[in-house]
Structure 1
Amino acid sequence: MRMPHPESTAATREALRAAFDDMIQCFQEARDAIDDPALYPPPPTDRNLAEGYRYVAGFMLNAIERALADPLYPRFRRAIQPMNRSTIDNADAVYLGVEIDGNYSYRIRGRAADTRHWRGEAPAAGTTAPQYVIFELASGYSGDSGKLSEMQPGTRINTSTLDSSKLQVEADGSFDILVAPEQPEGYSGNFMLSKRSSRGVEHVGRFLTCRELFHDWANQDLLDLEILRIGCEQEPRPPIDPAGAEHMLREIGRIARNQVHFWNAFNTITLETYGQVPGGISERMGLDKPFMPVNDMNPPNVLGIATGGGQSSNIYAGGTYLLEDDEALVIETRTPIEPHFLGFHLANLWGESLDFESYPSNINAHFVETDPDGARRWVVCHRDPGVANWVSTTGVLHGYTSRRWTYPEPPPKEQWPTLTARKVPFDDIRAHMPHARIVTAEERAAQRLLRHRHVQRRYRQY
């Protein structure tokens, strides 16, 4: 005869209910950041408010997934996706993340389609690997403290990085990567160090990211990836207990609240989205305008993990646009040394990339058409100007512009990309882009279909 399960205790029920209530309270505090001026939200337009609620819901989703993860039994998941876009994300990227404990050793196994372009060779016809891939192992997760003080140098570091320019890949596209506190003697394969000292502090790798960047949305496809802690098959995972459930619930709330509060402050104070502030980044960099200037972009620069995160192999530039219906922003760049990846993207003031499935709200180096003088020119405006290289605001009147150039080895400063931006009347776009090709409505529809199909593949959940 089966014995009945023992009844839960009143103490357990009350403790779990209290943890759940704490989680809900943190969700409320995250929600407050949508419209409480003390928490640095964007201007409260109807659209900003609507997008703000979606934005907070996205951080709730991300917090649930992170709090339910187990560093000893990890699996790759989507750190950013259409349901939880944030941090002025790259619309050409897949962001994968996995929690680990860098005191242990792990093995990543993967497979890619044709990778010849990773080695500077011409790619084969048909499906290929992403344009560029980078694995980065960080000792912490940007924004988790909820306070800008976490950006102090040495607070958080990358213990290791490995990108597609250095990744050893077999002829069939397979590869593996050892992640460990020490490199075994005689080991010559792909390796990522999970413990590193910096400024006298030992940092342990806790969050492993994989960014897959796409140029050719029609033909480049995702990696297949798995990660396993070495020896996990010998140690079945213990079931969750009440203490573990209490911790999980409070972590969900804490992560969601702190992330929303941190990025609001980061956008307003660090990036100076709404104007210069005392002690802001423009003052530290010697700029005479806000770091995120209006209808302009800051000079190409390197932003690292100490300034809120970012891909370690990127050169960045950013700004904001603020355009009327009869205005446009023409942005020009020249690249003395061609990067492995080049993308231009728009985002709303919450830092969510704009809808890149139904609109051309981003255009990368594969799709942008180069002018005869060697420059690449994009035009940002609210309505279709009928020319190539149009980047749509999707109707967002005020938002972020961002540009990324990816260099596994940074070029000399004198050979960095150059960048200019100018606001022009909508009716004068063709005068400022005299070589821009005319694009028909049928071609725009074909571009949208390509985007829909690529997004289906990029974010498949099966």
Structure 2
Amino acid sequence: MSNPINTPDQRRFEQEAVKVLHDPRMQETIADRRAYWLEKARPGPAQRQAFETKYDEVVFGAIIWSLNTDPERPAVVTISRSPHRLGDLDIPGSRWGLDNPDSVYRVIPIDGAERYVIRGRVHQPRLTENYFTLWNAHMGTVDVLDGKSLVLDEDGRFEIFVDADEKGDRANHVRSSPAAVEFYIRDVVTDWAQERVNDLSIERLGGEPRRPERSFDQKVADAQAMLIRNVDNTMRWNAQALDKPANMFDFVIDRDTDGALRNQVYIMGHFDLADDEGLLIEVALGGARYFLAPITNLWGTTNDIVDRTSSLNLSQIERDADGAVRLLVSLRDPGIWNWLDSCDMPDGLMTLRWAEFENGRPDAGLGAKSRVIKLADIARELPHARRVTPQERDAQRARRADSYAWRIAE
């Protein structure tokens, strides 16, 4: 199967992003923010080690996103990818913003006074979750189209018209406004091996651009500004998790209040474990067709999501023999299938996420309970969990890596 991410525009933007990365002015800002962030965060040894690779991703994520901001020359660009090769180039990862390993995030710049058409094709099996969200300059929603409602032709193709007019008799429409600046498109891949994100392209309908393209100097300046913002935003988001007690993910939704109209539920927190401990999390799905538990570091990125089980979704989780969903976070392999591998970090952040409720809102049972256990007590604490041998773990990891490979294939 092909890779819908690997488009001519994607390759062009990644190549230009490498040029911006190596510009001396960009390198100066990278060094400045590096010192600033380490001073502010004061990380422990494991998080400091993670910084040496993950900061590079935060940097490249800012560059690649900032390059695709011209609404007269819009492109569909994926902004959060793992490190990969592009011809002879090593392309850094661009994960940032507490990324979801299941999600492919793509952006399209928009001018609210312009008219556009987004063309694409839906692959089978169809994605559980896919949203075309039109943002204003503050990431507020102007309009949103749920991908499940797309009207398709017999080949799975579609057109989405984007303008400030009424929908009229058009099958697929996103209503723009003067405040609109960007599409943020999120395709959530739950079965990594079988599912593929939508093919996407964008056409501006207003004729030739009226303004000249940004100079390279301006592109460097925009990338510098975005990196500065993103570092500060990461620290602000982290505070939402770090201000809570460690290892506390206990939560039960009140369907009559906070659950009544919500179609997504997020629970942020952080863990801090000794080498012989694990954080046991029991999850109640509450009717969610999508659930994810990813581990992130202080720098706002996931860790090794390809070769290690540092995130698990419902298609990767195996229910315990009693039907319950239980996960275990730990440094050492506990010998159970549902291991959230902390990737050598004794501490880290997690954002549990429930979504796609059958009736548009969660059932009363949605929630989570957590507690710290000793790994030596797993047989007693998790009697219903599927146990795995080292050979079975290797096979689990190999299947995971194989199922991810299409996303970074040329």
- TM-score bracket, normalised by the shorter chain, equals 0.7 to 0.9
**Which residue number corresponds to residue 55 of structure 1?**
54
Counterpart residue number, 1:96: 106
Deviates more, 1:412-421 or 1:158-167: 412-421
What's 1:323 paired with?
Answer: 273
1:432 corresponding residue in structure 2: 381
The CA RMSD over aligned residues, in Å, is: 2.6
CA distance in 2, matches of 1:313, 1:98: 25
Mark the CA change 1:51 to 1:33 in structure 2 (over 3 Å): closer, same or farther. Answer: farther
Deviation for aligned residue 1:208: 1.0
* Contiguous gaps of at least 5 residues in structure 1: 1-19, 115-127, 141-154, 196-202, 276-289, 303-311
Task: Return the letter of the residue paired with 1:451.
Answer: R
TM-score (norm 2): 0.82
Match of 1:113 among 118, 123, 141: 123
Shift of 1:377: 0.6
Residue 212 of structure 2 is aligned to residue 209 of structure 1: no
2:11 counterpart of 1:29:
no
Residue 365 of structure 1 deviates from its aligned partner by: 0.6
Q: Distance in 2 between matches of 1:416 and 1:177?
A: 37
| Deviations 1:73-116 (CA, angstroms, capped at 9, x unpaired) | 211111212212222211111111222222211111111222xx
* TM-score for the superposition, normalised by structure 1: 0.74
Max radius of gyration: which structure? 1
The one-letter amino acid of 1:188's match is R
Stretches of 4+ aligned residues off by more than 4 angstroms:
20-25, 236-241, 408-414
Provide, for residues 162-200 of structure 1, a one-character-per-residue CA deviation record: whole Å limited to 9, x for no partner: 12332222332212211112225x3331111221xxxxx
Deviations 1:261-313 (A, max 9, x none): 22223323xx151x3xxxxxxxxxxxxxx2xx3112153679xxxxxxxxx95
Q: Equivalents in 1 of 2:115, 2:296: separation in Å?
A: 38
- Partner residue in 2 for 1:355: 304
* Partner residue in 2 for 1:262: 233
Is 2:111 the partner of 1:86?
no
Q: Aligned pair in 2 of structure 1 residues 458, 379: CA closer, same or farther (>3 Å)?
A: same
Of 237, 249, 253, the match for 1:297: 249
Tell me the SS of whatever aligns to 1:206. Answer: strand
Q: Distance in 2 between matches of 1:67 and 1:359?
A: 30
Identity in percent: 28
**Inter-partner Cα distance in structure 1 for 2:253 and 2:158:** 32
Gaps of 5+ in 2: 1-22, 83-92, 255-261
Cα distance in 2 for residues equivalent to 1:451 and 1:210: 24
- Structure 2 CA distance for partners of 1:81 and 1:327, relative to 1, 3 Å: same
Report if aligned partners of 2:241, 2:268 keep a CA contact under 8 Å in 1: no
| SS of equivalent residue, structure 1 residue 228 | strand
Checking the alignment, whether the CA contact within 8 Å between 1:370 and 1:376 is kept in structure 2 is yes
* Aligned partners of 1:133 and 1:211 also within 8 Å: yes
Shift in alpha-carbon separation, 1:103–1:237, aligned structure 2, 3 A? closer
Distance 1:132 1:240, change over 3 A: closer
Task: Answer whether contact 1:327 1:381 (CA < 8 A) is retained.
Answer: yes
d(CA) in 2 for partners of 1:432 and 1:349?
30
Alignment correspondent of 1:188:
170
Is the Cα–Cα contact under 8 Å of residues 128 and 356 in structure 2 kept in the other structure? no
What is the letter of the counterpart of residue 295 of structure 1? N
**1:135 is matched by which residue type in structure 2?**
F
> Which residue of structure 2 lines up, in the alignment, with residue 76 of structure 1?
76
| Letter matched to residue 192 of structure 1 | V
- Indicate the residue corresponding to 1:167 in structure 2: 150
> Aligned pair in 2 of structure 1 residues 358, 272: CA closer, same or farther (>3 Å)?
closer
Are the structure 2 counterparts of residues 171 and 134 from structure 1 closer, same or farther at C-alpha, using a change threshold of 3 Å?
same
CA distance in 1, matches of 2:210, 2:56: 30
Q: Is the 8 A contact 1:162 1:192 kept in 2?
A: yes
What CA deviation, in whole Å up to 9, does each residue of 1:410-432 have, x standing for no partner? 75566261110111001112322
